[in-house]
Amino acid sequence: MQTKIFSVKGGLSFPVYERLYGFQDKGISLGGAQDQLSFRVAYQLFNQPLDFQAIEMIYPAKITAEEDMLFILCGATYENTSVNSKQVVYNQIQYLKKGDTLEFSGTKVGFRTLVFAIVQTPDQINIGKKRSKEIEQFIDSNYKNNYIRIVKGPEFDILEDNGFFEQVWTISPNSSQMGLSLDGNALIAKKVEMISQPVVDGTIQLSPSGPIILMRHRQTVGGYPRVATVVEPDINKLAQFAPKSRLRFKLVSFDEAIELYSKFNRLFV
């Protein structure tokens, strides 16, 4: 549930809600934050609140508190993040007084900044809580390179050489909340005609113009060959890749993918 806790002026941002399960058969994807790692960090630190307001911010906006609120910033970081000229830290719960404005400027590292807030009440003692060292170590380990791990998709065998893995791909500026289009050399692949089939977060479709990685706000079916699927932790990593970022794919087994997903989920137990 979302209540109006802060207002957003300028920039570019998208509202974030909890994921919506149970409607994919009706054409509605799970949605939610593109960077589920950042969202789950914030959601857990606030003890899974029923009422909150959250956005993923791509270009800097001014965030003004409509109520006395507690907030956390996760994901992409700005060189200058301040309230009344006082610097604000990331990945730690802080207080913002009603009427005060949070501002962002300077160099950005990453692509999406999660702003997550709840209304402050007298019984709350969350100020100062930080994300765990285990999560810090997970990010340091998984985000230090541009490799994206994948498993084979149902139509993987249409690829006729190793060009998919050998080249460096560039995220197209034409990408969207639905998916990331990749620019690179044309792939040698068998021609195949198929009716629309189910897709999931991280499905990599091979369109006539090149690969498309489906993100959180994807469609639920697609008519292009599904050559691979990105492992869940690396979808969050992709959410922090800006347009024109470069990446390479690394094939892992299904057992490895399951272990990577389990390891990711254990961060929040």
For the stretch 26-71, pLDDT in tens is 999 999 999 999 999 999 999 999 899 999 999 999 999 999 999 9
**Where are the chain's structural domains?**
6-131, 147-267
Tens digit of pLDDT for each residue in 211-221?
Answer: 999 999 999 99
The per-residue pLDDT for 35 is 98
Q: 121 falls in which pLDDT band (50, 70, 90)?
A: confident
User: Does 22 have pLDDT greater than 80?
Assistant: yes
The per-residue pLDDT for 269 is 82
Q: CB burial class (10 A; 0-12, 13-18, 19+) of residue 169?
A: buried
Q: CB burial class (10 A; 0-12, 13-18, 19+) of residue 75?
A: buried
Please give the CATH topology (third level) of the domain spanning 147-267.
Answer: Cyclophilin (2.40.100)
* CATH number corresponding to 6-131: 2.60.120
User: Does 237 have pLDDT greater than 80?
Assistant: yes
CA–CA dist 72, 41 (Å, integer): 10
Q: 247 falls in which pLDDT band (50, 70, 90)?
A: very high
Tens digit of pLDDT for each residue in 77-118?
Answer: 999 999 988 999 999 999 999 999 999 999 999 999 999 999
- The reported pTM is 0.93
What is the mean predicted confidence (pLDDT) over 244-254? Answer: 98
What is the mean predicted confidence (pLDDT) over 196-209? Answer: 97
Q: Which residue has the higher pLDDT, 116 or 128?
A: 116
Q: Name the nearest CA neighbour of 163 among 88, 51, 249, 226.
A: 249
User: Does 1 have pLDDT greater than 60?
Assistant: no
CA–CA dist 268, 173 (Å, integer): 33
3-state SS, the chain, equals CECCCEEEECCEEEECCCCCCCCHHHCCCCCCCCCHHHHHHHHHHCCCCCCEEEEEEEECCEEEECCCEEEEEEEEEEEEEEECCEECCCCECEEECCCCEEEEEEEEEEEEEEEEEEECCCCCCCCCCECCHHHHHHHHHHCCCCEEEEEECCCHHHECCCHHHHCCEEECCCCCCCEEEEECCCCCECCCCCCCEECCCCEEEEECCEEEEECCCCCCEECCCEEEEECHHHHHHHCCCCCCCEEEEEECCHHHHHHHHHHHHHCCC
Q: CB burial class (10 A; 0-12, 13-18, 19+) of residue 83?
A: middle
Q: 144 falls in which pLDDT band (50, 70, 90)?
A: confident
Chain length of the chain: 269
Q: 127 falls in which pLDDT band (50, 70, 90)?
A: confident
